[in-house]
DNA sequence: GCCAACGTTGGC
DNA sequence: GCCAACGTTGGC
């Protein structure tokens, strides 16, 4: 039986953003934002096929000092074409993405909350229960990735219990 | 700023 | 379909 006939259990995700470009504070200010600019097929497929309204999302700051999980959002709108791919003036412009047959898709993410403190990457690495997170696998660079409910909740605990 | 690890592109 | 060259990611 399909698990999403109105009773689908929310899934959990982690998305990366460079805070110099777009931070958790920017998301807090905007309340909802289109998660545009993703130009990796595997990440796109997660957004296009698997991210559903109400899914919970860890917001991860990459290329930061330190890098780490900064907050929580939720999927506010499911997959639709990424308009930046059609915009010649945008740094993510892709001439191969045709509005008639869009190559790149995005979801909208709504701000839920900042963590009480940023959980640095180093600290995540120290937790055995998180060892299998895609984020912690050597060399991986996926900017949209699934996490398990247990991993998600564990990270929230790390923030809230100190 | 460096560079290792990836992903994509395009010639063949 | 191979694979070298190139571009990007992202921690350090």
Sketch out chain A's domains with CATH numbers.
Answer: 12-155 (3.10.590.10)
> Is strand B in 7 Å reach of the CB of A65?
no
- The string of pLDDT tens digits covering residues A73-100 is 999 999 999 999 888 888 888 888 888 8
> Is strand B in 7 Å reach of the CB of A96?
yes
Taking the C-alpha atoms of residue A58 and residue A14, their distance in angstroms, rounded to an integer, is: 5
> Is strand B in 7 Å reach of the CB of A95?
no
For A36-98, strand residue ranges (E) read: 56-61, 68-81
**Mean pLDDT value across residues A111-123:** 96
Q: How confident is the model at residue A69 (pLDDT cuts 50, 70, 90)?
A: very high
Q: Which residues pair with A73 in a beta bridge?
A: A57, A111
> Is strand C in 7 Å reach of the CB of A143?
yes
Asked if A26 contacts A58 with a C-beta cutoff of 8 angstroms, the reply is no
CA of A8 to C1' of B6 (A): 34
How many angstroms separate the Cα of A37 from the Cα of each of A28, A51, A90, A103, A115? 19, 16, 9, 12, 25
CA of A122 to C1' of C12 (A): 12
Task: Considering only residues A6 and A151, tell me which one the structure prediction assigns the higher pLDDT.
Answer: A151
Which nucleotide is at minimal CA–C1' distance from A120?
C11
Chain A 99-138 residues in 7 Å CB range of strand B: 138
Q: What nucleotides of chain B have any atom within 7 angstroms of a protein Cβ?
A: 5-9
Chain CA centroid to CA A130, Å: 17
């Amino acid at each position: 039986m399909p698990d999403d006939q109105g009773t689908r259990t929310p899934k959990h995700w982690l998305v990366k953003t460079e805070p110099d470009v777009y931070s958790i504070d920017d998301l807090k200010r905007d309340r909802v934002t289109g998660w545009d600019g993703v130009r990796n097929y595997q990440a796109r497929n997660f957004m296009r096929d698997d991210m559903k309204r109400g899914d919970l999302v860890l917001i991860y700051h990459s290329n930061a000092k330190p890098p780490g999980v900064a907050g929580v959002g939720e999927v506010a709108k499911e997959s639709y074409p990424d308009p930046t791919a059609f915009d010649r003036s945008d740094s993510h412009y892709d001439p191969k993405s045709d509005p008639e047959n869009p190559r790149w898709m995005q979801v909208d993410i709504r701000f839920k909350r900042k963590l009480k403190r940023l959980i640095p990457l180093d600290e995540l690495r120290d937790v055995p229960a998180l060892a299998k997170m895609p984020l912690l696998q050597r060399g991986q660079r996926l900017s949209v990735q699934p996490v398990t409910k247990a991993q998600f909740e564990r990270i929230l605990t790390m923030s809230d219990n100190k």
